[in-house]
């Protein structure tokens, strides 16, 4: 896999190996971008802004985004295979979530920017002067787009689509763990007619590599990033001397609140998805489950049963419902929390280790879905983000206690409230200190709604016109009449 700069695929003198999290086999060799390559990408993006792309109209950009969406659909199976090869996730998940959302993202932001208007005012001053004030949009400029490995194509297009809709040029750095779909998207961009330099891809790592070269480059006008909170802090330090804007969607330690009056079958279905989807590697996954005491044992037993029914296996096997973690390195991190939970006094309800899947899959990053009881909010495994298929189940007695426990965190991304009491549902959902509260569901997304977090979970909002706020610079014109 090569870098994509100014409409050309570029090799570099240094490569690294991307391996499969399923069995450790080699997926491909990736050309790591050096400082010169990153500089060329930024310069290519700037040149595109100085050319016809910088003068493109909203209808032209909306039409281009729709062409990209169509081409994504035409290359659908290629993208599914690339996404699954990198992440190890089951093909059906890559098909129904990642690639489907990629096409939807381009269409959604084509519609959003086409319908977006700006302010205008007729000004009349006491001295009799009159003026017309109207605002128009300028692009932010050259935007660094840094995306994680858990939903690489989905989150990449979630940022690139609004950036292009607003007339920016982008330099994308995908995770070193998941370079394939970004490389393939570069081909799709060229096939759809995206002008040279508007979309660029540089591969590599963080410190001392493409990530650092990109975020410290003086030609970058803003950075949008999804990933770990600690990395977000590092990016803020990198851009602070040049006072560049940032848009961050960071980590989460999300809570689910289960009240005794909830539809328990529906609730357990939802919890099984929110704890174990993508092997728990979604920023929106649930890691803290607070259950009202009268139904605590029932919910714990039912959720443990659902965990035991998950079927790990190769992505192409239609019976596979549970994939590996992204890497053996990440598995060691997750396992360290499994060990810590036991030291902190947890009772392991299910899981807690590494499954034996036979010699064929022994080289993969497999781990067991895990549930704990016996923990409290003071324990580290309840306070720190694990980013794996694990959750602590903790009882509560009344609504105020549930809200207090759920809000007792430095994160603030999402919460889920499970109850059949409509008044309670609205009341509790609005008391959550998060950017997104679900009621009797999970991961149901409206692409026009604001999305983002508070505290360690991020800065800014994405989705619909909220994304446009970051990627554009409203400029006012005042004309005296």
Length of the chain (residues):
481
What radius of gyration, in Å, describes the C-alpha atoms of the chain?
23
CB 310 within 8 A of CB 354: no
CATH number at residue 411: 3.40.309.10
- Domain hosting residue 30, numbered range: 3-250+457-480
Same domain, 357 and 372: yes
For residues 192 and 335, state if they share a domain.
no
Q: Residue by residue, what is the 3-state secondary structure of 148-185? A: CCCCHHHHHHHHHHHHHHCCCEEEEECCCCCCHHHHHH
Per residue in 14-45, pLDDT tens? 999 999 999 999 999 999 999 999 999 999 99
Per-residue pLDDT of 136-175, as tens digits, reads 999 999 999 999 999 999 999 999 999 999 999 999 999 9
For residue 434, tell me if it sits in a domain.
yes
- Taking 3-state DSSP, the helix, strand and coil percentages for the chain, each rounded to the nearest 5, stand at 45, 25, 35
Structure token pair of residue 43: 């310069």
Question: Per the domain annotation, does 383 fall within a domain?
Answer: yes
Task: Let me know if residue 452 belongs to a domain.
Answer: no
What pLDDT score was predicted for residue 371? 98
Average pLDDT, the chain: 97
Task: Note whether 32 and 123 are same-domain residues.
Answer: yes
Q: Give yes or no: residues 199 and 226 share one domain.
A: yes
Mean pLDDT, range 207-235, rounded to an integer: 96
Contact 341, 371 (CB under 8 A): no
pLDDT computed for residue 13 by the predictor: 87
Is residue 101 domain-resident? yes
Known active-site residue 283: yes
Q: Is residue 451 part of a domain?
A: no
Helix axes 296-309, 264-276, angle to 10 degrees: 50
For residue 419, give the nearest of 434, 447, 432, 438 by alpha carbon.
Answer: 438
Q: pLDDT above 70 covers what percent of the chain?
A: 100
Spell out the residues 6+ positions from residue 139 whose beta carbon is closer than 8 angstroms to its own. Answer: 49, 54, 166, 167, 168, 169, 471, 472, 473
Q: Which residue in the list 32, 83, 283, 287 is annotated as catalytic?
A: 283
Residue 5 in contact with residue 44, Cβ under 8 Å?
A: yes
pLDDT of residue 32: 98
pLDDT at 460: 95
| SS3 of residue 47 by DSSP | helix
pLDDT of the residue at 450: 95
Residue 392 and residue 303 in contact, taking contact as beta carbons nearer than 8 Å: no
- Express each pLDDT in 236-277 by its tens digit: 999 999 999 999 999 999 999 999 999 999 999 999 999 999
Residue ranges of alpha helices (H) inside 75-99 are 76-87, 91-93
What's phi and psi for 388, nearest 5 deg?
A: -145, 180
Helix, coil or strand: residue 15: strand
What is the spatial distance between Cα 108 and Cα 248, in angstroms, rounded to a whole number? Answer: 21
User: Is 151 among the domain residues?
Assistant: yes
Say yes or no: 440 and 345 in one domain: yes
- For residue 312, give every residue at least 6 positions away whose Cβ sits within 8 Å of its Cβ, in sequence order, or none: 320, 322, 323, 324, 355, 357, 361, 366
Characterize the bridge pairing of strands 370-373 and 390-396. parallel
User: Residues near 166 by Cβ (< 8 Å), separated by ≥ 6?
Assistant: 61, 113, 137, 139, 140, 468, 471, 472
Q: What is the C-alpha separation between 433 and 415, in angstroms, rounded?
A: 9
CATH number, residue 44: 3.40.605.10
Same domain, 322 and 393: yes
Token pair listed for 229: 């909170």
**Is there a single domain that holds both residue 246 and residue 258?**
no
- This prediction has a pTM of 0.95
Percent above pLDDT 90 for the chain: 99
Q: Where does the pLDDT of residue 117 fall: very low under 50, low under 70, confident under 90, or very high at 90 and above?
A: confident
- Residue 46 in any domain: the answer is yes
User: How far, in Å, CA of 325 to CA of 21, rounded?
Assistant: 7
Give yes or no: residues 183 and 163 share one domain. Answer: yes
Residue 451 is predicted with a pLDDT of: 96
Do 281 and 409 have their domain in common?
yes
119 and 163 share one domain: yes
Domain count, the chain: 2
Residue 385 and residue 291 in contact, taking contact as beta carbons nearer than 8 Å: no
Short-list 23, 21, 84, CA closest to 388: 21
* 163 and 304 share one domain: no
Angle 257-263-269 from CA coordinates, rounded to 5°: 75
Cα–Cα distance measured from residue 105 to residue 181, given in angstroms and rounded to the nearest whole number: 15
Quick one: 411 and 464 in the same domain?
A: no
Q: What is the pLDDT of residues 396-454, one digit of tens each?
A: 999 999 999 999 999 999 999 999 999 999 999 999 999 999 999 999 999 999 999 99
Helices 100-115 and 58-74: crossing angle in degrees, nearest 10, is 170
In a domain, 343, yes or no: yes
> How many CB atoms within 10 Å of residue 52?
9
């Amino acid at each position: 896999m090569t870098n994509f700069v100014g409409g050309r695929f570029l090799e570099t003198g240094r490569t690294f190996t991307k391996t499969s999290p399923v069995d450790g086999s080699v997926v491909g060799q990736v050309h790591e971008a050096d400082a010169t390559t990153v500089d060329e990408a930024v310069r290519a993006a700037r040149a595109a802004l100085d050319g016809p792309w910088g003068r493109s109209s909203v209808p032209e950009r909306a039409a281009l985004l729709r062409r990209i969406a169509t081409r994504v659909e035409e290359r659908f199976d290629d993208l599914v295979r690339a996404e699954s090869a990198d992440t190890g996730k089951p093909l059906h998940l890559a098909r129904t979530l990642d690639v489907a959302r990629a096409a939807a993202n381009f269409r959604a932001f084509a519609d959003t920017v086409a319908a977006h208007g700006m302010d205008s005012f007729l000004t009349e001053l006491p001295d009799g002067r009159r003026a017309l004030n109207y605002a128009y949009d300028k692009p932010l400029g050259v935007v660094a787009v840094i995306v994680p490995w858990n939903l690489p194509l989905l989150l990449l297009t979630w940022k690139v689509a609004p950036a292009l809709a607003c007339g920016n040029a982008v330099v994308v750095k995908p995770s070193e763990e998941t370079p394939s779909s970004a490389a393939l998207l570069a081909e799709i961009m060229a096939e759809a007619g995206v002008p040279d330099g508007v979309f660029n891809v540089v591969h590599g790592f963080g410190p001392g590599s493409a990530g650092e070269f990109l975020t410290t480059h003086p030609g970058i006008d803003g950075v949008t990033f999804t990933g770990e909170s600690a990395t977000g802090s590092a990016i803020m330090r990198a851009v602070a001397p040049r006072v560049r804007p940032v848009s961050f969607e960071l980590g989460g330690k999300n809570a689910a609140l289960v009240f005794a009056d909830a539809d328990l079958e529906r609730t357990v279905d939802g919890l099984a998805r929110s704890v174990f989807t993508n092997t728990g590697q979604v920023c929106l996954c649930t890691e803290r489950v607070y259950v009202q005491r009268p139904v605590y044992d029932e919910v714990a037993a039912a959720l443990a049963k659902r965990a035991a029914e998950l079927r790990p296996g190769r992505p192409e096997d239609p019976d596979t419902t549970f994939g590996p973690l992204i890497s053996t390195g990440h598995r060691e991190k997750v396992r360290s929390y499994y060990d810590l939970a036991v030291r902190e006094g947890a009772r392991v309800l299910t899981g807690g280790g590494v499954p034996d899947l036979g010699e064929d899959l022994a080289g993969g990053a497999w781990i067991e879905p895990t549930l704990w009881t016996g923990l409290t909010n003071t324990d580290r495994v309840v306070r720190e983000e694990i980013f794996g298929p694990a959750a602590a189940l903790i009882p509560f007695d009344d609504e105020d206690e549930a809200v207090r426990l759920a809000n007792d965190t430095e994160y603030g991304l999402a919460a889920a409230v499970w109850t059949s009491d409509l008044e309670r549902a609205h009341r509790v959902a609005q008391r959550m200190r998060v950017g997104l509260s679900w009621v009797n569901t999970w991961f149901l997304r409206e692409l026009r709604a604001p999305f983002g977090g508070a505290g360690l979970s991020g800065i800014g909002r994405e989705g619909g016109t909220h994304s446009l706020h970051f990627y554009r610079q409203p400029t006012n014109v005042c004309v005296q009449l």
